[in-house]
């Protein structure tokens, strides 16, 4: 064999060996998992439950809550990180599928600047009223809102989030006017609802489940087409007289663009394995979430499809950034 050809083959073999060793060794240090919302919200709860479960597979995650701008700040930080597998983000419908239409100048492109790894879970929203309010049903809210347009206010976890858009969409469906009060995260709005400063809250079931069980918030309806297992007594919006209404959010792990394929494959496999474990599944279900999983390619397709679907809803609803 010609010496130069032998050298090229040797170099190629060495490169493959380095790649294989890297894939086998990763991760060798803690992984920063960005949660683009404050601690205590639904996204944070799901991130921590998943991270805790993955420790048994050799991972060590450091949760970095980075809220702001409807989740855009945290996702942008992940998009601009080095694609070495040591910075990930738990993205969701709002910052990956809604915000591209809602925000005129998004600092990242969800398709070009991120690498989907795996879908983790999905969750309906729940519309709740503070326990001190007179509203016992969604019909009570609609009746009162028609009598005094704009008098009833509702909290969301921020401009551009699914809870914000769901509120705008419901107002259009019901023919009412509510006053939107955005917060920088889901948990912050809960304090004002419990304290009586805000009457309604629309957020994910995992975010509000604890407050509902404690009696501090009164659930009026869930936004999925089927009832939630752990809130079986709560009707859907559709059952409350608004046929076909649905608004569900999903959560998934992503990294920066050009994340090594070996890292994506390993992490996807380990996440899917973890999501099949009964203890993690039960924890997520108890929070009102539906366990997902699947391939990185399926998650990528979901993001692309939902950018189109939610983009139309944003335009149709007339939702705008306050």
Residues 259-277: tens digit of each pLDDT? 999 999 999 999 999 999 9
Check if the beta carbon of residue 204 is closer than 8 Å to that of residue 186.
Answer: yes
Lowest-confidence region among 41-45, 74-78, 191-195, 222-226 = 41-45
Which pLDDT belongs to residue 40?
85
- Whose structure tokens read 């050009």? 258
Joined together, the tokens standing for residue 276 give 């099949």
Residue that wins the pLDDT comparison between 86 and 68: 86
List of domains in the chain? 3-122+250-317 (3.40.190.150), 124-231 (3.40.190.10)
Model confidence band, residue 174 (pLDDT cutoffs 50, 70, 90): very high
- 248-272 burial, b if ≥16 CB within 10 A, otherwise e? bbbbbbbbbeebbeebbebbbebbb
pTM of the model: 0.78
| Other beta carbons less than 10 A from residue 214's beta carbon | 10
Which of the residue ranges 14-23, 152-161, 253-262 has the most confident prediction, judged by mean pLDDT?
253-262
């Amino acid at each position: 064999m010609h010496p130069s050809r032998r050298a090229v083959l040797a170099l190629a073999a060495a490169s493959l060996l380095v790649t294989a060793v890297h894939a086998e060794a990763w991760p060798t240090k803690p992984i920063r998992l960005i949660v683009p919302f404050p601690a205590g919200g639904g996204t944070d709860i799901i991130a921590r439950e998943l991270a805790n479960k993955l420790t048994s597979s050799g991972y060590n995650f450091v949760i970095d809550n980075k809220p702001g701008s409807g989740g855009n700040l945290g996702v942008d930080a992940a998009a601009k990180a080095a694609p070495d597998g040591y910075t990930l983000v738990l993205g969701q419908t709002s910052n990956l599928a809604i915000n591209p239409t809602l925000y005129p100048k998004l600092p990242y492109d969800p398709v070009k600047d991120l690498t989907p790894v795996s879908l983790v879970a999905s969750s309906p929203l729940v519309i709740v009223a503070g326990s001190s309010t007179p509203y016992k049903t969604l019909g009570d809210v609609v009746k009162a809102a028609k009598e005094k347009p704009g008098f009833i206010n509702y909290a969301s976890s921020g401009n551009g989030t699914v809870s914000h858009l769901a509120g705008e969409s419901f107002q259009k469906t019901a023919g009412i006017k509510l006053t939107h009060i955005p917060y920088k995260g889901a948990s912050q709005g809960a304090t004002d609802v419990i304290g009586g400063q805000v009457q309604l809250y629309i957020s994910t079931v995992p975010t509000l489940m604890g407050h509902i069980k404690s009696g501090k918030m009164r659930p009026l309806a869930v936004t999925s087409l089927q009832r939630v297992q752990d809130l079986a007594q709560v009707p859907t919006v559709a059952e409350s007289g608004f046929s076909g209404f649905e608004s569900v959010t999903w959560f998934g792990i992503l990294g920066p663009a050009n994340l090594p394929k070996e890292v994506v494959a390993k992490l996807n496999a380990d996440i899917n394995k973890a999501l099949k474990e009964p203890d993690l599944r039960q924890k997520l279900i108890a929070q009102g979430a539906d366990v997902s999983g699947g391939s990185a390619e399926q998650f990528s397709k979901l993001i692309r499809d939902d950018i189109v679907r939610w983009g139309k809803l944003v335009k149709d609803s007339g939702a705008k950034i306050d």
